[in-house]
Amino acid sequence: MRCWQVALEEVTMTEESTALVEFLLARVEEDERIADHVASVSPTTDTGFCVWATQFAFDAERMIVAVDYQRVFAECAANRRIVEAFRAAAPAQAEILEGVLRELAFAHADHPDYRDGWRI
């Protein structure tokens, strides 16, 4: 059992924290879809991969996924665990974890669904 799982009561999520969680999980799902696609279509030889990956040359975010989709899967899993820790946390712990969620969301501040109220 992890320290954030010893909550005696679950945190009551506000509309704002619910939106933040939904936003983060939507970004995780987007990253997972891209990584799944990359894993299924990327060539296995270095030369083939270099030629294939040039299609992402002007899209840095997708290039990162193309180059290291396994790391993206690991980050997605970690982000899901953080969200679940927030959902299961006692109020005092949830306040700290909400700050962590806000920091994770800030990586997507250029997304149209990002809310300025989430900035720390």
Q: How confident is the model at residue 22 (pLDDT cuts 50, 70, 90)?
A: very high
Q: How many other CB atoms are there within 10 angstroms of residue 47's CB atom?
A: 8
Task: Report the pLDDT averaged over residues 20-27.
Answer: 97
Q: Distance between CA 101 and CA 33 in Å, rounded?
A: 21
Question: Which residues are CB-contacts of 57 (< 8 A; sequence separation ≥ 6)?
Answer: 63
pLDDT above 90 covers a percentage of the chain that reads: 50
Residue-wise pLDDT for 65-97, tens only, equals 666 788 889 999 999 999 999 999 988 899 999
Where exactly are the structural domains of the chain? 13-115
Residue environment code for 6-41, b if the CB has 16+ CB neighbours within 10 A, otherwise e: ebeeebeeeeebebbbebbeebbeebbebbeebeee
Q: Is the per-residue pLDDT at 18 higher than 80?
A: yes
Q: Distance between CA 6 and CA 54 in Å, rounded?
A: 48
pTM metric for this prediction = 0.73
Residue-wise pLDDT for 29-52, tens only, equals 998 988 888 777 765 556 666 666
